Amino acid sequence: MLFNQYDPLKKKVFRILDAEGQIVDKTNEPNLPNDVLLKMYQTMVLGRTADLKAVQFQRQGRMLTYAPNHGQEAAQIGPMAAITNQDWLAISFRELNAMLYHGVTLEQLFLYWYGNERGSHYNEGVKVLPVNVPIGSQISHAAGIAYVSKIQKKDEVVIAYIGDGGTSHGEFHEGLNFGSVMNVPMVVIIQNNHYAISTPRSKATKAETLAQKAIGYGIPGIQVDGNDVLAMYVATREAVKRAKNGEGPSLIEAITYRMGPHTTSDNPKIYREDTEVATWEAKDPLKRFSQYLLNKSILTAETDQKYHEEANELVLSTFKNVEASGLESLEEIFEHTYAQMPPHLKEQYETLKNVFSKEAQ
Compute the distance between CA of residue 50 and CA of residue 96 in angstroms, rounded to an integer: 9
Length of the chain equals 361
Indicate if 258 belongs to the active site.
yes
From the candidates 94, 194, 201, 258, which is the catalytic residue?
258
Round to the nearest angstrom and report the end-to-end CA distance of the chain.
71
Indicate if 237 belongs to the active site.
no
- Within 10 angstroms of residue 330's Cβ, the number of other Cβ atoms is 13
Indicate if 271 belongs to the active site.
yes
Compute the distance between CA of residue 95 and CA of residue 109 in angstroms, rounded to an integer: 10
Compute the distance between CA of residue 119 and CA of residue 126 in angstroms, rounded to an integer: 13
The residues pairing with 195 across neighbouring beta strands, listed in sequence order, are 200
The closest alpha carbon to 307, from 47, 109, 111, belongs to 47
- Catalytically active residues are 258, 262, 271
